[in-house]
Chain A
């Protein structure tokens, strides 16, 4: 995230792209976490107004890194932004939803410091979406929704399924997951002595199975 180190996170070089400008705030924690639930839960429990920067340590086979900013109002996630792709909202959440660990920094910002940024509809995410998609923690998602103000829950612009839809529309990402799984399956088959059970073409031809 280029901006945070300089005092603010900013983005949106293109004129019509949404922009995220937030004050640097006070660093509360800097950690490598295996599970983002730790961070989200901490922010929720202390009713944090501020933001987290998230840098996934695994970037699959995709080019470029994802570096995310997730803002909070009273502990509930509001905006998501990927400073590498310059995408925001559910698209950013989808890009950040990779297996951990993540390097995470958590910052507190004065109450009104984020008010202007939080008006940016295009970057907004549903209250429970980060817990569901980044942390895979349905109980934390429920807890977050319970803590969210009613108007956030009723926001028609922020649907829990939006990030999933963005993920499913990203064919390159899905192909990368599949390629990685195929490579891993072949490697492990060798390790487990199952390599002779592998289909010759790596899939699709059931007649190739041993014994047939």
Chain B
């Protein structure tokens, strides 16, 4: 059983990484969950997961000619399998985005749910690849016009590649924006999974290098992420078939 979700937004600062780890931890109560930092140019999942000093990362797996085992870059943290990405420019430049397909295929054969923390951009092949490879996309937006515009754009890119919307997650919601989520739902191809309030506890978790659900499991924000995860309605799938699909996905090896 496996389903791969791209957690995407189209713009930075919406809280994708916080959301990826929070959804992952919430889903881990029932599923084997693997979280991958697919934002190979602006990686930050390692900071959120206390993996700042990870010796082997996704970057190492994406370099041609290296025989690095995927398991060497997979870390057990907070009940999840976490594949962080390095932050060096050299690592990014050496990485070949097309190889992400093979890494994802290998991970898919051995997990229930794959969450791909996706780049906050759509301007390059490596940036759209997670959305191309995923089964469905979780769109993370703030309740602002720029964020909603970019969220709609990500949704259309994903649809162009046959990737439907699993749901929309409203993040950093202030009191006066509560009704906006309801109004936005009809424009997205999936339900509003949750409206997560703008709160200090999220910033504190980030500073502590811990996912929100580990740092403040009793917080309102954590409760809303759990509700969002419950609404995701993970689909049963044949892990081997998904792995095969990733392997055979038409992704050229050179940019």
Using a CB–CB distance below 8 Å, which chain A residues touch chain B? 94, 97, 99, 132-133, 136, 138, 159-161, 163-165, 167-169, 174, 177-178, 181-182, 184-186, 188-189, 192-194, 196-199, 202-212
Contacts and interface: CB of A to CB of B under 8 A. Distances in A.
B244 A211 contact: yes
A177 B164 CA distance: 18
Interface stretch (B49-57, B111-119, B174-182): B174-182
A194 B251 contact: yes
5 closest A-B pairs (Cβ-Cβ)?
A203-B159, A199-B162, A181-B156, A211-B248, A211-B245
A96 to B, nearest CB: 9
A198 B153 contact: no
Contacts of B250: 194, 196-197, 210-211
A161 B176 contact: yes
Given A97-B146, A202-B160, A197 B187 contact: no
A184 to B, nearest CB: 8
B245 A182 contact: no
Given A164-B145, A167-B148, A185-B157, A174 B245 contact: no
A209 B246 CA distance: 10
A181 B157 contact: yes
B125 A206 contact: no
A181 B148 contact: no
B247 interface: yes
Contacts of A169: 183
Contacts of B157: 181, 184-185
B146 A136 contact: yes
A177 B248 contact: no
30 contacts: A97-B145, A97-B146, A97-B149, A159-B176, A160-B176, A164-B143, A164-B144, A165-B180, A167-B145, A168-B180, A177-B149, A177-B152, A181-B153, A185-B157, A188-B122, A188-B128, A192-B255, A193-B125, A194-B125, A194-B132, A197-B132, A198-B161, A199-B161, A203-B156, A204-B159, A206-B135, A206-B163, A210-B245, A211-B244, A211-B245
A203 B162 contact: yes
Given A165-B180, A211-B246, 5 more contacts: A132-B144, A168-B148, A174-B187, A177-B153, A181-B155
A188 B135 CA distance: 21
A157 to B, nearest CB: 13
B184 interface: yes
Contacts of A161: 143, 174, 176-177, 179-180
B4 to A, nearest CB: 12
A198 B160 contact: yes
B178 to A, nearest CB: 8
A71 B249 CA distance: 53
B174 A160 contact: yes
Given A165-B183, A212-B245, A199 B145 contact: no
B11 interface: yes
B145 A163 contact: yes
Contacts of B247: 211
Interface in B137-153: 143-149, 152-153
Contacts of A203: 156, 159-160, 162
B65 interface: no
A205 B244 CA distance: 19
B152 A206 contact: no
Contacts of B125: 192-194
Give the one of B149, B155, B184, B244 with max A CB within 10 A: B149
A186 B125 CA distance: 12
A164 B147 CA distance: 10
A136 B13 CA distance: 10
Nearest to B136: A206
A202 B152 CA distance: 15
Given A192-B255, A194-B132, A182 B160 contact: yes
Contacts of A206: 135, 162-164
A211 B152 contact: no
A188 B129 CA distance: 12
